[in-house]
Amino acid sequence: MAFKSEEAATAYWKANLRLMLVLLCIWFVVSYGFGILLVEPLNEIRIGGLKLGFWFAQQGSIYVFVALIFVYVWQMNKLDQKYGVHEE
Amino acid sequence: MDIQVLTFILVGLSFALYIGIAIWARAGSTKEFYVAGGGVHPLANGMATAADWMSAASFISMAGLISFMGYDGGVYLMGWTGGYVLLALCLAPYLRKFGKFTVPDFVGDRYYSQTARTVAVICAIFVSFTYVAGQMRGVGVVFSRFLEVDITVGVIIGMTIVFFYAVLGGMKGITYTQVAQYCVLIFAYLVPAVFISILMTNSFFPQIGWGSELANEPGVYLMDKLDGLSKELGFNAYTEGTKSTIDVFFIAAALMVGTAGLPHVIVRFFTVPKVKDARISAGWALVFIALLYTTAPAIAAFARVNMINTINGPEMTGTNYSEAPSWIKNWEETGLIAWEDKNGDGKMFYAADERNEMKIDRDIMVLANPEIAKLPNWVVALVAAGGIAAALSTAAGLLLVISTSISHDLLKRNLMPNITDKQELLAARIAAAAAICVAGYFGINPPGFVAQVVAFAFGLAASSFFPAIIMGIFVKSMNKEGAISGMLAGILFTAAYIVYFKFVNPAANVPENWLFSISPEGIGTLGMLLNFVVALTVSKFTQPVPEDVQHMVESIRFPKGAGEAHQH
């Protein structure tokens, strides 16, 4: 057993799932939310020459995706350290 | 120098580089052949994954597709990048900890069943073959247009190069060639984009340029100009779509989930040393992919404005055919552009309504873009080398999945468990060589359905692999009965829907006949949901999961000890 106790293993897994779900919510909101479902109201707002909803569908969501993965990596590495399950 | 000589030089140099790498990175064991020895740096793996993922379709076709679809083209941009978030958060780290060689390995071991393994092998081979035929075709098209050789000769040259580094080096050779190919393809994609962006909007970054004002019409934003032009010519406004919201939603989801379930992408995360590396590697992969994917919509918009202006002229009255730029005539020879002088005025005109006299294939937008923008010849040659790099890198990754499926999943883990490592390696090489020949055959004689089956590949991956793997990790109580019935339900439903609308009754393929108005491209999402529901229901009423498998699931949920798991 890599964890100190059963409770630690459960707590680690719960923290992992919570992080994952929060990030997936953001993932869903920027792509399916802003880029598809809310595209029309958002198109009323403009950044430069681009309508916001259109921009999220074709470019903005991709930037957020990249950021999400790096936040996940950073948070998970911290979590692994905290529970002592990181690799040597 | 003329375009053809320059293209020969640039393509020749890139081939010499790939062969050099292949000789340097020969594989000595099955571990090197399947997962490059498991020692690839995460940054290099990210780059290789990006090249592996971005195929001839991404490089050649995608921007053209967006150019003609406008807002609706966003499903490809979101769909083919969003899947990496799923991969990084839900799949890659756990599969790396599991630490075997292939996706069927995981499915077979996690569901303690040869049947599950066999279903997975068949899916993996089918998905990969559909994909690889398209890649070989892409190589042939680039060769025939730029080097004016026969498509057959082009495909054979491409096969020989892939043969060299895939058979010799396996995953190790492929990985390091893909790194080189990524550099070639991204350079080739960005250079013309930057040039055109500067010409049209005075902005160095295409990602910013497409939201800026036009250089020759200050005060007018490029996108407003494009919306205006589109409406004037009878098209929809570029920034508005024509597909229904639900369909866009389901297509984007099918592409995302399909991406996360494609075996040739997943297997790349087996090549890094640690779980930590698998996570960050997915991040790097997406950074490298995003570089191309955030440029593509800008290219699409630039190309559309340029094309309309060139054909219809600045006054929007048409351009005399006798004064047409050379690219129009060059591409006419390939049959991808056609002009029919309907009103007999000797002028070309492009529109959505009865004024239209042009037939323009979407696939030429990226390849012809540098010529349309009157860029120097070496840029045109560079795009040819980039297109070939994109096609070859993806083809190699897919061929490896096919060969490992046969030598490892089918022979070693199923039919002939007693063969030695050397024999297995030989089998892998023979399988790779055979797969290249089959792929080449389809490249030369493409079955009419190649373009149709792309939806198939994603739908299939989304409705079969993805749920099976996700539940394998996150639902400890998922048993083999549940997983197998889920996979079968998902695949059969998705395949039946696609086959019906694409092959059996294509005439009926209109929104009125679709289930919940979801097109065949998006049906994989529904297939995936069906897979989850069936699997969860069946598993409630059948045998619980054995103790040792439950322990295995627990052990893949944290990183520690990944190194040892690899030496099985």
Contacts of A32 by beta carbon, 8 Å cutoff, 6+ apart: B249, B252, B253
User: What pLDDT was estimated at residue A24?
Assistant: 94
- Rounded mean pLDDT of B437-450? 73
Put simply, the answer to whether A2 touches B558 (Cβ < 8 Å) is: yes
Nearest CA in chain A to B220: A49
B343 three-state secondary structure: coil
User: What pLDDT was estimated at residue B451?
Assistant: 53
Query: What Rg, from alpha-carbon coordinates, does chain A have?
Result: 18
A69 lies in a domain? yes
Listed by number, the residues of chain B in 542-561 with a beta carbon closer than 8 Å to a beta carbon of chain A are 554, 557-561
- Rounded mean pLDDT of A9-24? 93
Q: Is the ipTM of this complex over 0.85?
A: yes
Closest CA of chain A from B169, distance in Å: 29
Task: With beta carbons less than 8 A apart as the criterion, state whether B364 and B373 touch.
Answer: no
Answer whether residue B566 shows pLDDT above 70.
no
A73 lies in a domain? yes
B278 three-state secondary structure: helix
Q: How far is Cα B250 from Cα B402, in angstroms, rounded to an integer? A: 29
The model's pTM is: 0.89
Task: With beta carbons less than 8 A apart as the criterion, state whether A26 and A65 touch.
Answer: no
A88 lies in a domain? no
User: What pLDDT was estimated at residue B401?
Assistant: 85
Tens digits of residue pLDDT in B386-443: 888 888 888 888 888 888 888 887 777 778 788 888 888 888 888 888 888 888 887 7
Residues of A in contact with B282 (CB under 8 A): 69
Based on the structure, what is the number of domains in chain A? 1
Answer whether residue A17 shows pLDDT above 90.
yes
When CB atoms are compared, the residue of A20, A55, A85 closest to B558 is A85
Residues of A in contact with B78 (CB under 8 A): 31, 35, 57, 61-62
Contacts of B463 by beta carbon, 8 Å cutoff, 6+ apart: B490, B491, B493, B494, B524, B527, B528, B530, B531
Higher-pLDDT residue of B237 and A34 is A34
A52–chain B Cβ distance below 8 A for any pair: no
Count CB neighbours of B445 within 10 A.
11
Q: Which two tokens stand for residue A67?
A: 């950021």
Task: Grade residue B455 by pLDDT with cuts at 50, 70 and 90.
Answer: low
A24 lies in a domain? yes
Distance of CA B44 to the CA centre of its chain: 19
User: What pLDDT was estimated at residue A63?
Assistant: 95
Task: Grade residue B452 by pLDDT with cuts at 50, 70 and 90.
Answer: low
Tens digits of residue pLDDT in B240-264: 878 888 888 998 999 999 988 888 8
- Rounded mean pLDDT of A42-70? 89
A51 lies in a domain? yes
Indicate the helix (H) or strand (E) that contains B308: helix B296-312
Looking only at Cα atoms, what is the longest distance across chain B?
80
In the beta sheet, which residues pair with residue B337? B360
A63 lies in a domain? yes
A68 lies in a domain? yes
Task: With beta carbons less than 8 A apart as the criterion, state whether B341 and B321 touch.
Answer: yes
Range of the domain at A65: 6-83
Tens digits of residue pLDDT in B80-127: 999 999 999 999 999 888 887 788 889 999 999 888 888 888 888 887
Tens digits of residue pLDDT in B201-228: 888 998 887 878 888 888 888 888 888 8
User: What pLDDT was estimated at residue B568?
Assistant: 39
Query: What Rg, from alpha-carbon coordinates, does chain B have?
Result: 24
A1 lies in a domain? no
Q: Is the CA virtual torsion B536, B541, B543, B546 positive or negative?
A: positive
Q: Which two tokens stand for residue B448?
A: 């009419």
Residues of B in contact with A9 (CB under 8 A): 554, 558
Mean pLDDT of chain B: 84
Closest CA of chain B from A87, distance in Å: 5
Indicate the helix (H) or strand (E) that contains B201: helix B151-201
A2–chain B Cβ distance below 8 A for any pair: yes
B305–chain A Cβ distance below 8 A for any pair: no
User: What pLDDT was estimated at residue B453?
Assistant: 61
Q: How far is Cα B123 from Cα B162, in angstroms, rounded to an integer? A: 23
Answer whether residue B565 shows pLDDT above 50.
no
User: What pLDDT was estimated at residue B493?
Assistant: 92
Residues of B in contact with A31 (CB under 8 A): 78, 82, 252, 256
